[in-house]
């Protein structure tokens, strides 16, 4: 049997042989991790761009006929428009122009609005960010609050009622809920008067700018679309957080925390909630990316002048350059937020750093 001094020496030697997780080694590991994730994100974006071009190019449509609908157009003029739009070129040539233009930041020219696609997207980006940002903040706060309290005391009245409501709204079609709220709270229903505007982002004729009247007018128009998205999405955060709280509540370390004399509220806030937050943080980043593209239905129902409504308008012709530009923006948002979710999870969970 080895002596205690020999055992201590062996332990000290083994400790010296294990490289520390921080310092230069940790920075190098993070750099390699970041490079891998960035490469995967760029590859995903390239594949989605190719898929988007193929999908919109093989759509059975006649953009020239849609553009000239209601106007007398001779066959010669129709042929000229086909040449101007490049529809007479082979598919491979159109794809080559598509790739070269996108690498130079040129998203093309809208057939319907007769403006650069990048300009249209920049104009409609702010309304979408306002709608998605406000609805995400409200739904995350509401869902997390309900999830923490229902998961800490499962089976109670708050747990049963909040879970039932969350599942009910989560299962509702977004457009159906939007139309229902539009009828009840905007058009008025029975004794309920008209409370909110039916469409648009502001009342026509009101002065713009950062004036208090204009800000209040925009917020008034924001209520119904924001409420629709919040009701549909808050249940995801509530159910995930509740499940995480229930899982964490059965761990032995809580007995140690209570043995130290901590109250239940302190055990919940200092020990259970931080560990239960990890799946919810990942869901938040992923959901934000998908909600940008998921706003198409809500913006269409309420005629909210954002990227979703712009995509709906582009589908009417269809306006292929505008559809391709919106598709790239939506795809890029999902990929970027997935990348941020991976980085956030690595920062919050030390176990991911070992992979």
Tens digit of each residue's pLDDT, the chain (355 residues): 444 444 434 444 343 344 444 556 667 777 888 888 899 888 988 888 888 777 777 666 666 766 666 667 777 777 777 776 667 677 777 777 777 877 777 888 887 888 888 899 999 988 988 998 899 899 999 999 999 888 888 888 988 999 999 999 988 888 899 899 988 888 777 777 778 888 888 887 777 677 888 888 889 999 999 999 999 989 889 998 888 888 887 777 777 777 777 787 777 877 788 878 877 877 787 777 776 665 788 999 998 998 889 988 888 877 888 888 888 888 888 888 888 888 877 777 666 655 5
What are the pLDDT digits (tens) for 191-222? 777 788 888 888 877 776 778 888 888 899 99
Predicted pLDDT at 70: 62
pLDDT at residue 351, as a whole number = 61
Which of 270, 280, 328 has the alpha carbon at shortest distance from 44?
328
Residue 56 CA: distances (Å) to CA of 68, 114, 317, 322 = 20, 19, 12, 10
Q: How many residues does the chain have?
A: 355
- From residue 148, alpha-carbon distances to 22, 236, 277 in Å are 33, 13, 10
Residue 206 CA to residue 204 CA, distance in Å, equals 6
Alpha carbon 235 to chain centroid, angstroms: 15
Kindly report, residue by residue over 271-292, the tens digit of the pLDDT.
Answer: 788 878 877 877 787 777 776 6
pLDDT value at position 231?
93
> Is there a contact between 54 and 309 (Cβ–Cβ < 8 Å)?
no
pLDDT value at residue 142: 93
As a dihedral over the C-alpha atoms of residue 334, residue 339, residue 345, residue 350, rounded to 10 degrees, the angle is 160
107-354: which CATH number, 1.10.1740.10, 1.10.1740.110, 2.60.40.10, 1.10.3720.10? 1.10.3720.10
pTM: 0.76
């Amino acid at each position: 049997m080895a002596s205690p001094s020999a055992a201590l020496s062996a332990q000290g030697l083994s400790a010296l042989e294990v490289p520390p997780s921080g310092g230069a080694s940790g920075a190098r590991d993070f750099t390699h991790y970041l490079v891998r994730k960035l490469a995967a994100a760029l590859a995903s974006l390239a594949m989605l761009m190719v898929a988007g071009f193929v999908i919109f190019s093989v759509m059975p449509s006649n953009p020239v006929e849609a553009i000239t609908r209601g106007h007398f157009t001779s066959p010669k003029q129709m042929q000229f428009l086909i040449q101007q739009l490049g529809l007479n070129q082979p598919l491979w040539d159109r794809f080559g122009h598509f790739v070269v233009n996108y690498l130079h930041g040129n998203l093309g020219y809208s057939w319907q609005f007769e403006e650069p696609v990048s300009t249209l997207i920049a104009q409609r980006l702010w309304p979408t960010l306002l709608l998605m940002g406000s609805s995400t903040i409200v739904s995350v706060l509401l869902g997390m609050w309900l999830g923490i309290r229902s998961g800490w005391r499962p089976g109670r009245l708050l747990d049963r009622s909040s879970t039932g409501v969350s599942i009910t709204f989560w299962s509702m079609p977004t457009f159906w809920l939007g139309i229902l709220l539009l009828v009840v709270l905007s058009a008025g229903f029975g004794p309920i008067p008209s409370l909110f505007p039916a469409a648009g982002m502001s009342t026509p004729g009101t002065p713009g700018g950062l004036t208090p009247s204009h800000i209040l007018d925009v917020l008034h128009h924001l209520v119904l679309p924001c409420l629709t998205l919040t009701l549909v999405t808050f249940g995801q955060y509530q159910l995930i957080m509740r499940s995480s709280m229930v899982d964490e509540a059965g761990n032995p370390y809580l007995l140690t925390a209570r043995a130290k004399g901590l109250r239940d509220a302190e055990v919940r806030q200092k020990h259970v909630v931080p560990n239960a937050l990890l799946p919810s943080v990942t869901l938040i980043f992923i959901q934000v990316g998908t909600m940008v593209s998921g706003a198409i239905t809500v913006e269409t129902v309420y005629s909210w002048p954002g990227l979703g409504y712009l995509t709906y308008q582009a589908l009417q012709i269809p306006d292929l350059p505008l559809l391709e530009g919106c598709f790239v923006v939506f795809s890029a948002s999902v990929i970027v937020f997935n990348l941020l979710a991976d980085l956030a999870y690595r920062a919050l969970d030390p176990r991911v750093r070992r992979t």
